[in-house]
Amino acid sequence: MSELNLKISNDLKHFSHTPEIAQKYSDAQKAKIAKTSKDFESLLTAMMLKSMNKTKENETSGEDSYGGDYFESLFENEMAKHISNGNGLGIASELYKKITGEDLDMSSFKNSLEPFRIKSKVELKNFDKDSSGITPSKQSLERLEQFDEHIEEASKLYGVDKGLIKSVIIAESAGNVKAVSSAKAKGLMQLIDSTATSMGVHNVWDPRENIMGGTKYLSEMLRQYNGDVKLALAGYNAGPANVEKYKGVPPFEETKTYISRVLGYLNHLKEI
């Protein structure tokens, strides 16, 4: 597939002939339209940044320089964060107005957007009897504290419970940034190279990138299994192919133990 290079002279020209819709939308429908509009703008922003970086060809660090991919990733992440924290490109606002006839104010949708975030079918405590009494070590909890900011960011971006992210990190690496498994899984959330690449992680040893990539993958597992935490954890540990093969949690002792550990840690964190 050839690479897509974007060249946009008028950001809003594609919306100029959108037919006006007289239908009255409910607050819930408006919230969904607002979120979809913002998601579309974020996707377009990411594509533009990638295209800009490709065109620039790493002029500042050199195409083949050590760490080039890392600094490129930092640039894209920081730029995207800056844009999303501001008013964006204005595309989402224009698209929303064309559909609803109203100005976009995301702050008014804070409560209405909650139904569209990932919801777990299982209450985040007392998951099963096997996980009772399982607690994380004091050392792992202390190491975890330094990553609170990244965990908070990932939780908000991907709609995954902070306690669940922390519990996965403790189970995977005990908060050790340099952890490497026998299967060559790396970092805090133990990402293998193929998963890291597919999640957009350039430097698996960077705590923020690792947490963002691992949480993104965890959120995909939660969506794939309709919010079932046990199946999501099974997919994260053993791979979704095995979950499909066995039509549920695979009969692997490692996976069953992993799920019990994560849920035990989660119960403990909820009680703190």
d(CA 108, CA 229): 30
* Whether 38 contacts 157, CB under 8 Å: no
**Catalytic residue chosen out of the listed positions 76, 172, 209, 220:** 172
> Structure tokens of 163?
């306690």
Angle, vertex CA 29, rays to CA 27 and CA 32, nearest 5? 110
The answer to whether 172 is a known catalytic residue is yes
The helix/strand/coil state of 186 is: strand
Q: How many CB atoms lie within 10 A of CB 23?
A: 8
User: What amino acid occupies position 130?
Assistant: D
**Which of 3, 1, 2 has its CA nearest to residue 51?**
3
Beta strand residue intervals within the chain, DSSP E: none
* Whether 38 contacts 92, CB under 8 Å: yes
d(CA 190, CA 215): 11
Give CA 160 to chain center in angstroms: 8
Helices 229-238 and 207-224 cross at an angle (nearest 10°) of 120
d(CA 235, CA 249): 8
Positions annotated as catalytic residues are 172
